[in-house]
Amino acid sequence: MELDQLKPETATPRQVRQYLRDKLVVIASNRGPVEFRRVENGIIKPFRGAGGLVSAMSTALTATDAVWISVARTREDVITALAYPKRRIPMPLENPQYFLRFLVTDKREFHLYYNVVSNSVLWYLNHYMLDLTGNPCFDDEFHTAWKEGYRKVNRLFADEIVKEVRAQGKKPLIFLQDYHLYLCASHIRSRLPEALIHHFTHSPWVEPDYLKFLPTGYRREILEGMLSCDVVGFHTRQYAENFLRCCEESDVLHLKVDSKRGMVVRDGRLTFVRHYPISIDHEALEKLAMRPEVELHRKRLRKIAGERKILLRVDRVEPTKNILRGLKAYRLFLRHHPEWHEKVIFFHFLYPSRQELHEYRNLRREIEEEVHSINREFGTLEWDPVYLEIEDNYLRSIAGLMEFDVLVVNPVMDGMNLVAKEGAVLNRKNGIIIISTRAGVWGELKGAAIPVNPLDVMELAEAMRTALRMGERRKKALSRKARQVVESNTSFNWFLQQMRALQRAEKERGKGTVPEEPPVPPLPRYEHFD
Amino acid sequence: MELDQLKPETATPRQVRQYLRDKLVVIASNRGPVEFRRVENGIIKPFRGAGGLVSAMSTALTATDAVWISVARTREDVITALAYPKRRIPMPLENPQYFLRFLVTDKREFHLYYNVVSNSVLWYLNHYMLDLTGNPCFDDEFHTAWKEGYRKVNRLFADEIVKEVRAQGKKPLIFLQDYHLYLCASHIRSRLPEALIHHFTHSPWVEPDYLKFLPTGYRREILEGMLSCDVVGFHTRQYAENFLRCCEESDVLHLKVDSKRGMVVRDGRLTFVRHYPISIDHEALEKLAMRPEVELHRKRLRKIAGERKILLRVDRVEPTKNILRGLKAYRLFLRHHPEWHEKVIFFHFLYPSRQELHEYRNLRREIEEEVHSINREFGTLEWDPVYLEIEDNYLRSIAGLMEFDVLVVNPVMDGMNLVAKEGAVLNRKNGIIIISTRAGVWGELKGAAIPVNPLDVMELAEAMRTALRMGERRKKALSRKARQVVESNTSFNWFLQQMRALQRAEKERGKGTVPEEPPVPPLPRYEHFD
């Protein structure tokens, strides 16, 4: 089965599964497809974890005996694992298609790997959000966190993966996910030289001049990890190009880079750099939209809105979602365009998030205050310009996404953003999407949505007006285009492209055509200074 | 006189002055060479303003009737200007070589131009230091600040420059300085198509992916301004390459870019992109070092230090100087290397800075606390590991720079950093410089100093130890190299390179060889969306 001869439009999951028949698919991600928790009556139940990834990976997960490895996050995760032979939990429990394995780490090493390194530094780095004059400070504590947390857990992941591969004896295809697992491939490669390894980064990737804020040693380890893969994937061309430029300008490894063909060679090993945006399972989403609860939410929403045009935001209460600037823009819009008073309502369907953190609690309070202040300034007896609801309620969000006239998605920096994609397929009213140019999805929605610079609230205010005044024909054309774009790039397609890239990599490897390169130079001198 | 046939090593100021004889040099910078203030007895006296630039521009300023245009910052600036015919103040007063003209702006427009736009946004942007989830917020107030402050003052500068040029009738050479004046050249070019215009950016320049956080309209105006110059200059190759890439990836202007030759063409007009690091006047510095007050400071310093090795920092109390991380590194060094206890002392010769700002007062307090804490943790009856002095005292700093064994210069991001250069030429003890790789000067000091990542305090702690343990021969070699590097790139050389680049640009213009390009495309569609 030659995947790269299959056209994405005509390829079927069956063909891919055929290719996968004699292979072992291993997926590794920090968070697993489910998390087990104890519910009221003492029973342990699974709750949806890395949901987007599950549906995106469903082709690989269906009937292929795949294994998914993730960190156990609850006591119940561990208990559940112990209940199954070889700690392999069949998933889904009622209709097993693949196995879930939990990696059990100790509390301290998880904290160091997850909080100290991944989320306090790598995530901020990837979003151009390091606070240079404050944090991070790479001191002995951080170095310890790197060694005993990040590096350690990456090695534990590799150990588990290698164990699975060796136990099954099939040809392995390994899919590593995101910035938590940058180093994992190094440890796999040294023990499984033949394995096909794919890494996908779900956040942005920055340009080399910015990456250099990371100390030399860490940068080298990360690049070594990434370049131990056969393919590294990103959501957008920009991120992939940024990665290629980081390789081109690398002062920590000697690399040969062919940017045009997206190839990097190190020590005679080739890595392909590719970009394919992750998608949603629009069919499953449509099914969910049929649920009667959704209909009830829609009715409630329409009753609140009345004849008014509906602006909508669906987001977690999280700083990069840029909710406050969105409200400021709405205030400007109302101030400058009184003809719209009483004729619009801005629904904020928000999810509470990380309420244990001071910063997040503050943000929530500021949002609430801003909403009240806008409602005080412009509201009337019959009209609150903003309707705010902070509640963990997905079906309500689906209802909102079906009903909006204008969807506001203005994150300051966002790897992809799936709310925009959900809105594009769910909406029933030829609604218009306003999209931040710093969201990965902007690359796909170009020409099908109104772009805004996320820091420019004047532009956002004008975009709201533009969207509201748009004629029916234009609206229809744009919203149809948005829907088509999202529907044509299915999750299957995302996965197929990864498979094809891996197969291509395998062939190149077989040819042995990787160009020779000069010997590895000495380490940058400032590491050996004396 | 063909400047580009002169070799920098053999060219003399006389030759350049000869070339300048029939030309009018105009320098424009936000801050002028002096600032007038009233002293105790009621007399108005000049105080040194943009000192570094004055000495760097001295060739152009000597006996060429140059004009320097800056914003009046004090009442006394205005009063002094009014006392001279045509408001041209002869400079220096006792031995006039050029004229100073003050631009008088009203308080509000200066505030908008200087505080709101230049220092709260452009400066942070250039240093990768935007706080994405907080400021800036490009709202109607900011747009007003841009229009009625930044754009306006840039136009006022252009008006003054054009007036001077027209009054004198000589061929003008115009030198615009820094991020305050990005738009100025647009307004000059439209009225003086033949003028030779040079812009020099004294801060870093970021990569295109980061620049895009600035709204489209501003980005376009800035690039239009820069590309109305014949030459734009930067301190380092990195900054110049970043600028070229911003042109290459521009979505706001249609440009042709030849990165290798550092050329950008817009609307048939050519702009050269060059890099030449600014320098110091080491001869003047040596003279200053001979002053008896300096000798007194050296004696005092040696008495405090005794037999101990001297580490030194000379900086303004300013967040990007990274003073706290420097202290943290020193603490780690003392903790990990007790053999150095009582054998070192770390002088902090700091200048107070912007004490009217909360953030700066806080920083000062934190520094003082960190110093006390280190002295408490390690100090003995005879030994304080850190000696802190916050005082506006340049001669004391010169004394310190003559006496250090190790100079710590670890800014998180710094266009150039002249303290390192001053240290290289002043030091009498084969002292070693530790330099941040994010300081522009690092490009020159490579191989003559110990580089550190400014966020990596472990690396800095190790660098301190490495520097302290270095053998005499190696120290001698490094410190000699550092001095040679700095002395060989004189201020005159910096100016000469600007002149040569301008002359080259003039020739290319004469040839009319600028390649044709396709017609200008429509504006990016999202500005015309409807």
Q: Provide the token pair at A504.
A: 């291509």
Does the pLDDT of residue B398 top 80, yes or no? yes
Does the pLDDT of residue B365 top 80, yes or no? yes
Confidence of residue B526 (pLDDT cuts 50, 70, 90): very low
Rounded distance, CA A204 to CA A315, Å? 19
Give me the architecture of the B282-488 domain, per CATH.
Answer: 3-Layer(aba) Sandwich (3.40)
Identify which of A449, A451, A438, A450 has the alpha carbon closest to the alpha carbon of residue A484: A449
Distance of alpha carbon B481 from its chain centroid, rounded? 23
Neighbours of A283 (CB within 10 A): 13
Question: Which has the higher per-residue pLDDT, A59 or B203?
Answer: B203
Best of B143, B209, B237, B335 to substitute, by most chain A Cβ atoms within 10 angstroms, is: B209
Residues in contact with B514: Cβ distance below 8 Å, sequence separation at least 6, in sequence order: B265, B268, B269, B270, B508
Q: What is the pLDDT of residues B298-313, one digit of tens each?
A: 999 999 999 999 999 9
Domain ranges in chain B are 3-279+492-510, 282-488
- pLDDT reported for residue B191: 96
- pLDDT reported for residue A211: 98
Please give the CATH superfamily to which domain A3-105+154-279 belongs: Glycogen Phosphorylase B; (3.40.50.2000)
On the CB side of B253, CA atoms within 13 Å amount to 23
Does the pLDDT of residue B258 top 90, yes or no? yes
Does the pLDDT of residue A26 top 90, yes or no? yes
**Average pLDDT along chain A:** 92
- pLDDT reported for residue A70: 96
Which of 3.40.50.2000, 1.10.1660.10, 3.30.70.890, 3.40.50.300 would CATH assign to domain B3-279+492-510? 3.40.50.2000
Residues in contact with A517: Cβ distance below 8 Å, sequence separation at least 6, in sequence order: A254, A256, A265, A267, A268
Which residues in chain B touch residue A133, judged by CB atoms under 8 angstroms apart?
Answer: 129, 319-320, 322, 412
Does the pLDDT of residue B3 top 90, yes or no? no
Residues in contact with A238: Cβ distance below 8 Å, sequence separation at least 6, in sequence order: A204, A443, B209
Q: How far is A448 from chain B (nearest CA, A)?
A: 11
Cis (ω within 30 of 0) for the bond into A46?
no
Contact at 8 Å (CB) between B198 and B231? yes
Contact at 8 Å (CB) between A184 and A157? yes
Which residues in chain A touch residue B206, judged by CB atoms under 8 angstroms apart?
Answer: 209
Residues in contact with A371: Cβ distance below 8 Å, sequence separation at least 6, in sequence order: A327, A348, A386, A388
Confidence of residue A6 (pLDDT cuts 50, 70, 90): low
Percent of chain A residues past pLDDT 90, beyond the cut = 80
Does the pLDDT of residue B28 top 70, yes or no? yes
Confidence of residue B519 (pLDDT cuts 50, 70, 90): very low
Distance of alpha carbon A236 from its chain centroid, rounded? 12
| Among B212, B437, B458, beta carbon nearest to A140 | B458
B131 at A interface, C-beta within 8 A:
yes
Q: Provide the token pair at A501.
A: 């890239």
Q: Which residues pair with A44 in a beta bridge?
A: A38
A208 at B interface, C-beta within 8 A:
yes
Does the pLDDT of residue A34 top 70, yes or no? yes
Percent of chain B residues past pLDDT 70, beyond the cut = 94
Confidence of residue A429 (pLDDT cuts 50, 70, 90): very high
Q: What is the pLDDT of residues B69-94, one digit of tens each?
A: 999 999 999 999 999 998 999 988 88
- ipTM value greater than 0.90: yes
Q: Provide the token pair at A442.
A: 């902007």
Rounded distance, CA A227 to CA A243, Å? 11
**Average pLDDT along chain B:** 92
- pLDDT reported for residue B174: 97
Rounded distance, CA A207 to CA A209, Å? 6
Neighbours of A319 (CB within 10 A): 18
Contact at 8 Å (CB) between B239 and B440? yes
Rounded distance, CA A441 to CA B333, Å? 47
Residues in contact with A312: Cβ distance below 8 Å, sequence separation at least 6, in sequence order: A346, A347, A349, A400, A401, A403, A404, A406, A407, A408, A423
B303 at A interface, C-beta within 8 A:
no
Average pLDDT over residues A115-126: 96
Average pLDDT over residues A278-301: 94
Average pLDDT over residues B270-298: 94
CB–CB contact B137 A455 (8 Å):
yes
Q: Provide the token pair at B448.
A: 């003559």
Average pLDDT over residues A456-478: 98
Task: Say which range, A46-50, A427-431, A462-466, has the weakest mean pLDDT.
Answer: A46-50
Rounded distance, CA B314 to CA B350, Å? 6
Average pLDDT over residues A364-373: 98
Does the pLDDT of residue A530 top 50, yes or no? no
Question: CA-CA-CA-CA torsion for B292, B295, B297, B302, nearest 10 degrees?
Answer: -160
Question: What chain A residue is nearest to B454 in terms of C-alpha separation?
Answer: A213
Does the pLDDT of residue A513 top 60, yes or no? no
Q: What is the pLDDT of residues A141-160, one digit of tens each?
A: 999 999 999 999 999 999 99
- pLDDT reported for residue A16: 82
Contact at 8 Å (CB) between A108 and A51? no
| Among A456, A458, A526, beta carbon nearest to B450 | A526
Identify which of A376, A301, A314 has the alpha carbon closest to the alpha carbon of residue A345: A301
Contact at 8 Å (CB) between A230 and A264? no
Rounded distance, CA A423 to CA A434, Å? 11
Q: Is it true that B3-279+492-510 and B282-488 share their CATH fold?
A: yes
- pLDDT reported for residue B50: 66
Identify which of A74, A68, A158, A135 has the alpha carbon closest to the alpha carbon of residue A359: A135
